[in-house]
Amino acid sequence: MALTSVLVLGPTGGFGQFLVPELIRRKASFKRIGAFVDVTRPQDDKKIKALQDYAENGVEIVKASPGDSEPFRGENQPALIDTAISAGVKHWYPSEFGADLTVGDNWNERYYRDKVVTRKYLQQKAAEDPDFGFTYFLNGRFMEWAPSPHFGIDLKAHTARFVGTPDMEQSMLATNDAAKFLVCTLLDPPTTQERTYRFLGGNYSWTTIFSTLEKIQGVKWTISQKSVEQARENQRKAIETGNVDAELAASHQVIQGTGRTLLPGPYDNERFPEVEPQGLEETWTAMLENTEKFAILGVKH
């Protein structure tokens, strides 16, 4: 059976802001579309407007309030999975949307710690209940999140300090294409308890990444390299000072710099030919024309 009753957690987040509109676009194929919102979290005009738009388009807004039990407010996925299962949920899409955790030593990398915990928990839950299943959605990196200051790339100053070698490739998919593929997978009935989809927009080297940015912006970039060892040293320092954000950024830079954001095939793109993924230049041109959705890039206008 296709997964036609869906509740989106994080509907106004980075990915949710693409996913819910895509679900709305295809709402004729769904019985119920819900958006889960913790009303105790900060609200701004953008978030309020997005939720209003969703509601006006038939999305049920499921509100959690301060009186709710801990799991509803918890940040960790196992607690949310327990809550979902006790409410009768039979299928879970964990918050993956990235690299293949089984590549290289990704499984032990700090950046993926919570995703590994979640994978183990899902496997445990599936072993306990043969009717419970889950889907891993892998896309390498979201294209629009890649050129961010968090990873040493500054779109305003046109400077970059990357880890690895110029010819090292990473897999990327435009966020909107990820949303499109994800909705296709919901409508593809699961036949096993565990399934994995791999979708690709393209594999791009650092050389291509920066030449594309230079072409779009019409500006020469100042680019330097950092070794994997330096990134690892930064991670160690961040651990010492308790700077979790810096620790995660350095861990991810090590992953990028050792080619572990390259998603191995085979890819599932051809199973859903209705989705034609956009390339890097097209995606980044559109992103730079409308940066509102990508606050992380630091170039919001």
Enumerate binding residues for ligand NAP (CB under 6 A).
10, 12-16, 38, 41, 47, 73, 75, 95-98, 141-142, 145
- CA dist 135 and 94 (Å) reads 7
Instruction: Give the shortest CB-95-to-ligand NAP separation in angstroms.
Output: 3
Instruction: Give the shortest CB-158-to-ligand NAP separation in angstroms.
Output: 21
Of residues 45 and 128, the one with the C-beta less far from ligand NAP: 45
Of residues 130 and 235, the one with the C-beta less far from ligand NAP: 235
Of residues 111 and 210, the one with the C-beta less far from ligand NAP: 111
Of residues 237 and 264, the one with the C-beta less far from ligand NAP: 264
Tokens of 148: 């961010």
Q: List the one residue out of 191, 165, 259, 153 whose CA is nearest residue 2.
A: 191
Q: Which residue is nearest to ligand NAP (CB)?
A: 13
- CA dist 76 and 69 (Å) reads 14
Helix (H, G, I), strand (E, B) or coil at 169: strand
Of residues 31 and 120, the one with the C-beta less far from ligand NAP: 120
- CA dist 263 and 197 (Å) reads 11
CB 109 within 8 A of CB 255: yes
Instruction: Give the shortest CB-49-to-ligand NAP separation in angstroms.
Output: 12
Instruction: Give the shortest CB-94-to-ligand NAP separation in angstroms.
Output: 8
Instruction: Give the shortest CB-232-to-ligand NAP separation in angstroms.
Output: 21
- CA dist 24 and 10 (Å) reads 16
Instruction: Give the shortest CB-218-to-ligand NAP separation in angstroms.
Output: 26
Beta-ladder partners of 204: 170
CB 250 within 8 A of CB 231: yes
CB 293 within 8 A of CB 17: yes
Of residues 30 and 294, the one with the C-beta less far from ligand NAP: 294
